[in-house]
């Protein structure tokens, strides 16, 4: 295998949740450029149709599947449809997730439970559903967590807790699924996405940049490049690890 082949995903099929926008979209397109057939998953048909169309321009097969990851029956249907169209599944990227920041005193127990379900339970369910098919392909899973899982900061009690759980779930599943399925995570720091732009004005953006050792905001492509690496043969001896892609920030760069 050549050095270039080590970073190729040619002949692989990847499911990427939350791939209508932002980090998920960047991962889907990077995978397609690396040669993978991609299954773009989100709740908004128009978004994933556009990403799937863009991905197909790299000469790969693409599929857009509308799916609410909170619905376990929809996750089962997603995998069935993927196998019918693509014939196999080699890579799963659990990217769908999120939670609004806010003071702990304003977060209800119901909201905490819902955030946990969105960020952890959905990923666990899809891992469990896809695992037998990944095992047949010696495949891999990449979970997208967050630097909020390890930063001590205000207003992230629910989101940070759920992402920390996803981090540890990654390590536990890696131990259980080895040696046939590799399971890793990527922990993004401050990534400039459409979702984040609405919270930051020019002054707060500059403050984040100043508090980040690399003196720049991250881009979705930075996470996508890390995902290509972890899903590729180049990472064949890596499992149960969380790759921190955060510009070197060892504590929160948020100025709030």
Q: What is the pLDDT along the chain (256 residues), one digit of tens a residue?
A: 677 899 999 999 999 999 999 999 999 999 999 999 999 999 999 999 999 999 999 999 999 999 999 999 999 999 999 999 999 999 999 999 999 899 999 999 999 999 999 999 999 999 999 999 999 999 999 999 999 999 999 999 999 999 999 999 999 999 999 999 999 999 999 999 887 777 788 999 999 999 999 999 999 999 999 999 999 999 999 999 999 999 999 999 988 7
Question: For the chain, how many structural domains are there in total?
Answer: 1
What is the spatial distance between Cα 36 and Cα 28, in angstroms, rounded to a whole number? 9
Identify whether the C-beta of residue 103 lies closer than 8 Å to the C-beta of residue 155: yes
Q: Considering 31, 159, 229, 254, which one is annotated as catalytic?
A: 159
In a domain, 243, yes or no: no
Please name the residue that has the structure tokens 């070197």.
248
In a domain, 56, yes or no: yes
Main-chain dihedrals φ then ψ at residue 78, nearest 5 degrees = -60, -45
The CATH number of the domain holding residue 8 is 3.40.50.720
Triad 158, 20, 38: Cα angle to 5°? 115
pTM exceeding the 0.85 threshold for the entire prediction: yes
In a domain, 211, yes or no: no
What residues make up the domain containing 16?
3-191+220-238
In a domain, 97, yes or no: yes
Residue 159 annotated to the active site: yes
- Cα dist from 130 to 150, 177, 247, whole Å: 28, 12, 32
Give the pLDDT confidence score for residue 110 in this predicted structure.
97
CA 85 from centroid of its chain's CA atoms: 23
């Amino acid at each position: 295998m050549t050095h270039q082949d080590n970073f190729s995903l040619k002949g692989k099929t990847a499911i990427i949740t939350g791939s209508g926008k932002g980090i998920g979209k960047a991962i889907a397109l990077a995978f397609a450029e690396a040669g993978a057939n991609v299954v773009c998953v989100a709740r908004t048909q128009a978004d994933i149709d556009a990403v799937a169309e863009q991905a197909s321009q790299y000469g790969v097969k693409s599929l857009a599947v509308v799916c609410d990851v909170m619905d376990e029956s929809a996750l089962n249907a997603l995998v069935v449809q993927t196998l019918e169209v693509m014939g196999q599944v080699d890579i799963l990227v659990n990217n769908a997730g999120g939670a609004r920041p806010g003071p702990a005193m304003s977060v209800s127990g119901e909201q905490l439970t819902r955030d946990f379900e969105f960020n952890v339970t959905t990923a666990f369910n899809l891992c469990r559903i896809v695992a037998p098919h990944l095992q047949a392909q010696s495949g891999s899973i990449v979970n997208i967590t967050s630097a909020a899982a390890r930063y001590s900061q205000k207003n992230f009690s629910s989101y940070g807790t759920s992402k920390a759980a996803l981090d540890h779930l990654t390590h536990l599943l890696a131990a259980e699924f080895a040696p046939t399925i590799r399971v890793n995570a990527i922990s993004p720091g401050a990534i400039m996405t459409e979702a984040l732009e609405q919270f930051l004005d020019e002054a707060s953006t500059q403050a984040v940049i100043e508090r980040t050792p690399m003196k720049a905001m991250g881009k979705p492509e930075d996470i996508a490049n890390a995902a290509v690496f972890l899903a590729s043969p180049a990472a064949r001896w890596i499992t149960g690890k969380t790759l921190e892609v955060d510009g070197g920030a060892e504590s929160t760069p948020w100025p709030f």
